[in-house]
Amino acid sequence: MSGELGIHVCGGRGKHSRKTPLELATIGERVGIDGSALADASRLVAKVDSAAVQDGFDLYLHGFIVTDDGHWTVVQQGMNDSSRTARRYHWLSEGLQSFVEEPHNAIDGIHQGEIVNLTDRRADASRRTQIELLTSLGPDGLARELAAIEAKPGKPVRPPEPIQLSLPHLVMPAHHDVRASDVLSSRLHATFTAAANRGPADFAELLLAPGVGARTVRALAMVAEVVHGAPYRFADPARFSFAHGGKDRHPFPVPLKVYDETIGVMKAAISKAKLGQDDRLAALRRLDDEARRVERRADGPPVMEVIAEERRLSHSFGGRSVFGWVPAPEASSLERKPRAAPNRR
């Protein structure tokens, strides 16, 4: 019904996700929008969530929804095989200022702590420095710097590189995440060369260079941090999933009562702000300021205890997931307390 609704759903899982740019180009020709720009956006969004954000989740789903007037949204999902958990990345064209600086509309998943996050605004120095290093040091200089960093005392000894047999035989690791031992130095050097020859003007162009993936970006970021002190590891933004949970029950089922109340508060605040009554927005701003102040010195319970408590109270908050409503706790599991005598006064 895309022709009737003016909404086109592209991409999907696995091999279907790789067809997205071609689908977008075809739609662009048919309805008269810039399909080439949409295809570039699809490639860049996928590269950001697989290379610029390295949080342990491998993308396996890329859904690109676009309207006849060119507005779009992207939903991507990654999987962490070791923890058997998923993470979802949401993008929205409306209000998008940059593809590489805090571009996400939402990231839903369990907090991973400190990750490689080159979309953090504090990573601006790292992004700029990586482009400069490609020009100033060149592929040979970058390879030398990286080798010196990885050979520092205290670092584990890197195993010898596996012998790459002639095609169609490939040496493949038994895990999905990219590790230093998985990458051939000669191939990494070749990728540096290809990226440098393309002369990327900014970090987004670097990500779109053929062959530039998570390992290349991490290597450039490591060199940038050592040479220019530009950090690339930051706190994982997935902590926001603790606001309203997730439909897959991670970190806990969606508390619909809390969810609806949040929407109600935000709608009222925005409606009043349009009338010049911004007291509710000011209250939210004060709440945020106070939370940031407390965060610098607060010490609370472990994350798993917070999740366990949220799941225990889930039924009372109207908890729901794709598996259905959260049932009430069984009476046998509740503490049996003697009933208090009714108050007759």
- Ramachandran angles phi, psi of 61, nearest 5°: -135, 130
pTM over 0.75: no
Q: Closest Cα to residue 128, out of 197, 61, 205?
A: 205
Fill in the DSSP letter of residue 51. I
Question: In the chain, where are the structural domains located?
Answer: 2-111, 122-235, 243-327
Q: Tell me the pLDDT of the chain (345 aa) as tens digits.
A: 888 899 999 999 988 899 999 999 999 999 999 999 999 999 999 999 998 998 999 999 999 999 999 999 999 999 998 888 899 999 999 999 999 999 999 999 888 888 889 999 999 988 988 888 877 877 777 778 877 776 665 554 444 444 444 444 445 555 544 444 444 455 555 566 656 666 677 778 777 777 677 766 766 666 666 666 777 677 777 766 667 788 888 788 888 888 887 777 777 777 877 777 777 667 666 666 656 665 555 555 666 777 888 888 888 889 999 889 999 887 544 444 444 444 444
Q: Which residues contact 129 (CB under 8 A, 6 or more apart)?
A: 224, 227, 228, 230
Q: Closest Cα to residue 74, out of 88, 62, 58, 86?
A: 62
CB 238, CB 87: distance < 8 Å: yes
Q: Closest Cα to residue 64, out of 130, 123, 121, 13?
A: 13
* H or E element, residue 30: helix 20-31
CB 66, CB 96: distance < 8 Å: no
Task: Dig out the tokens for 25 from the structure.
Answer: 């180009």
